[in-house]
Amino acid sequence: NVDAAAGSGAMIACAARELFEELGVLVARGAETLTKGQLASLHDDLASGRMPFPMLLEHYGLHLDADDFRFVGRWVTPPFSPRRFDTLFFLVTCPRKQEPRVLNAEFEVGEWIGADEAYQRWRRAEILGAPPVIHALRTLAGGVTDDLVERFLSVPQAHREPVRRIEFLPGLICFPVRTPTKPPATHTNCYIVGHRELVVIDPASPAADEQAALAECLDDLRAAGRTVREILLTHQHPDHVGGVNALKSHFNGEVPIAAHHLTAEALRGEITVDRLIEDEDVIELDGQPRLSLRALHTPGHTRGHLCFYEERTGALITGDMVVGLGSVLIDPPEGDVHDYLRSLERLRALPKLTALFGGHGAAVAAPHAKIDEYITHRLEREAHILAAVRGGAATIPEIVARVYTDVHPKAFMMAERAVLAHLEKLTADDLVRRDGDGHYAARRLKEVVG
């Protein structure tokens, strides 16, 4: 953590360097005398590493003035990510005769548009945005007025308060809650979808303080005129349903719970599912605009796993099919690799897929690439397991020792379950056979052909 007061000079220098390196804008006293050619030469010196930023300033007789950098907030990454940033934000005026350009390889695409246009694109669900970025766009879209800095600092999150309500898209709120999930994740993402009518997907935490925080968020939305219509479940695992009964009690039992019939069967005796959801069922949510959630039965992680596809925006809530952090365990008998791969292919083929919102970690803005990565990883793992069997590994521990060479011993049990899932697929594909003692062997080509 950086103390904002003691470290402000260093942070301003860092901000100035990043601004120049990535956008070609040099906010430094004396820079107004430089020509475009000189600025380009300075940028080349910095980007190539020939001259660090402090030396560059000294060499050209430039200096930074703290008055040019107005502090407008300090935001901390929500705890759903193991890599968290404690970031100071500054407001600067672009110097005359300088124009921002996309110069850094960290960017995939860039354009120069007004804050209001960018904010409206977010409102139209054309772009994703992290909370501090959306707050900045909303604030700037309100006009460059005398109280601009005060408006930037008007929300508690700008003062390092935890960001609990993450609205990646209008009408799609992610509310991470602490759960006893598998590392590296520590939280499960609960989603609140809708504008006037709302559904809550996977209220996951068994912790009373987390349940209270989620209930408070929903009460605030209800006070603003919204209605919680239903609680939806992606699947039955404890790190996704730990807060379901508590949330239903908070609403005096008046908000029903809906899930796939296989999930309802798995939860019998723990959670009462009031309504069954089947593949391709559509949940229409009234509001401006209306949202349509299409339920997709995606077995593989569990038999009754559901994803929810918002058809207008192309946003896909994926539960534990695809996640932004960690990996997905396929654990028989609920887990099935054949089903999992077929479900991934189905998700990849959705007509307007724009982003993935998984049960753990941040949103995925490149959905097709992520799904391709998942499919490739599973098939490569399967090829390694088959090679191990062909190489003489006959038991699951022997296969794990050959295939999972980089896995900590504490994770061996999970690795063994994953190997079992792949062996079941290879057996079904007639590439491996299993004897009564639990030993595996590769089938010879003539066995397969015969």
Q: Could you read off the pLDDT of 63-96 as tens digits, one per residue?
A: 999 999 999 999 998 877 777 889 999 999 999 8
What CATH number does domain 381-449 carry, 3.40.47.10, 3.40.50.300, 1.10.10.10, 3.20.20.370? 1.10.10.10
Question: Domain 166-365 adopts which CATH fold?
Answer: Metallo-beta-lactamase; Chain A (3.60.15)
Q: Residue 338 phi/psi, 5° resolution? A: -55, -50
pLDDT at 338 over 90: yes
Q: Could you read off the pLDDT of 399-422 as tens digits, one per residue?
A: 999 999 888 888 889 999 999 999
Query: CA nearest 392: which of 427, 428, 432, 440?
Result: 440
Domain spanning 8-158: CATH 3.20.20.150: no
Domains of the chain, residue spans: 8-158, 166-365, 381-449
pLDDT at 429 over 70: yes
pLDDT at 288 over 80: yes
**Residue 26 Cα distances to 67, 106, 182, 267, 293, angstroms:** 15, 19, 45, 60, 47
pLDDT at 14 over 90: yes
pLDDT at 2 over 70: no
d(CA 447, CA 220): 65
Radius of gyration of the chain (CA): 26
pLDDT at 449 over 60: no
What is the percent of the chain with per-residue pLDDT over 90, rounded to a whole number? 83
Report the pLDDT averaged over residues 126-142: 94
